[in-house]
Amino acid sequence: MALEDIKKIGLLGGGVMGGGIAQTLILAGYPVLIRDLNDEINDATRDTIYDGKWGIKRAVERGKVGFDDATRAMALVSFTTKAEDLADCDIIIEAIPEKLELKQQAFKDLDAVAKPSAIFASNTSGFAIADLARDVSDARKAKFVGMHYSNPVPTMKMLEVISMPETSEDTTETAKALGEASGKVVSMVKDAPGTYGFLLNRIFGAARREAQAIVDAGIATPEDIDKAMMTGRNWPSGFFGARGGIGKQW
Ligand SMILES: NC(=O)c1ccc[n+]([C@@H]2O[C@H](COP(=O)([O-])OP(=O)(O)OC[C@H]3O[C@@H](n4cnc5c(N)ncnc54)[C@H](O)[C@@H]3O)[C@@H](O)[C@H]2O)c1
């Protein structure tokens, strides 16, 4: 699918990541339809996209986005509570909670309503794409890819595009091109069933476990580790809580 063939993008889940992904895509000029569970969540997502900490209003105030572009972008986002409304989307990006069965069921349901040409992408933090694609048709597997963004999406440029052997080159290239068209820097990654975390989270998880091992062995305190990583490697925050802490999930 060529980039110009993407006329409408579906977002399954409009939470922290789905809202952020939608924000970058509408700012790049793509119409986005967000499907979440109820109208209250959808209203809150619209507010966050405009008025949130990383929202479009703040980008305008900081001179990063023009007022007219912001107005145009906000007109491109719409909301629904019905999955079947995603039927005419050319690509559907899933950003629902990190639960394997929930995602497998969601993709199975989507496969029945989405048009045959639609690309399916998951923003999972680390489940194998092959596991997520387990219950979709073989034809859809060729159009199934991982698109792993980093939080907060409006400011973090990283995007991992993950392909499995069944994923067509056209699908992978389209996901990469879409990422780049919305300002992301794309790393290509091969799916590795039996592992969790692709590239970024595997390396980060290893570092986080090593930091904990250093604490457990009494070699250094959490505070000293945070200080060292922030001043010796320019990390914006530490593992253990300095400046908010990063990687608490590890
Ligand atoms: N938060 C992060 O730092 C981060 C970073 C990278 C990737 N991720 C991944 O992104 C995904 C979403 O994470 P999040 O932090 O945005 O979660 P979140 O809880 O903020 O958002 C999830 C949204 O999905 C909605 N939802 C639940 N079931 C749904 C369904 N069946 N259909 C449609 N919507 C549904 C929820 O109502 C919620 O609004 C997870 O897989 C997570 O691992 C998260």
pLDDT digits (tens, 9 = 90+) for 221-248: 999 999 999 999 998 888 898 766 665 4
Nearest to 80 by CA among 177, 174, 162, 12: 12
Rounded to the nearest angstrom, the distance between the alpha carbon of 123 and the centre of ligand 1 is: 9
Res 103 pLDDT > 80: yes
Q: Ligand 1 centre from 179 Cα, in Å? A: 19
Distance CA(55)–CA(142), nearest Å, equals 34
What values do phi and psi take at 167, rounded to 5?
-65, 130
Is the model's pLDDT at 115 over the cut of 60? yes
Residues acting as catalytic residues:
125, 148, 160, 201
In terms of C-beta density within 10 A (0-12 exposed, 13-18 middle, 19 or more buried), how is residue 228 classed? middle
Can you list the alpha helix ranges (DSSP code H) found in the chain? Answer: 16-27, 39-51, 56-61, 67-74, 100-113, 129-132, 138-141, 169-181, 200-216, 222-232
Whose CA is closest to atom 7 on ligand 1? 125
Residue 250 has a pLDDT of 36
- In this prediction, residue 249 carries a pLDDT of 39
The pairing of beta strand 144-149 with beta strand 185-190: unpaired
- pLDDT recorded at residue 243: 67
Atom of ligand 1 at shortest distance to CA of 151?
3
Tell me: the pLDDT tens digits for 50-96?
A: 999 999 999 999 999 999 999 999 999 999 999 999 999 999 999 99
Q: Give residue 85 CA to ligand 1 midpoint distance, Å.
A: 19
List all residues whose CB is within 6 A of at least one atom of ligand 1: 12-18, 35-37, 41, 95-98, 106, 123-125, 149, 151
- 222 CB neighbour count, 10 Å cutoff: 17
Fold of 3-190: Rossmann fold (3.40.50)
**Domain limits, CATH 3.40.50.720, in the chain:** 3-190
Pocket test for ligand 1, best of 11, 12, 17, 99 (most atoms within 8 A of CB): 17
Whole-model pTM: value is 0.95
- The residues pairing with 161 across neighbouring beta strands, listed in sequence order, are 147, 188
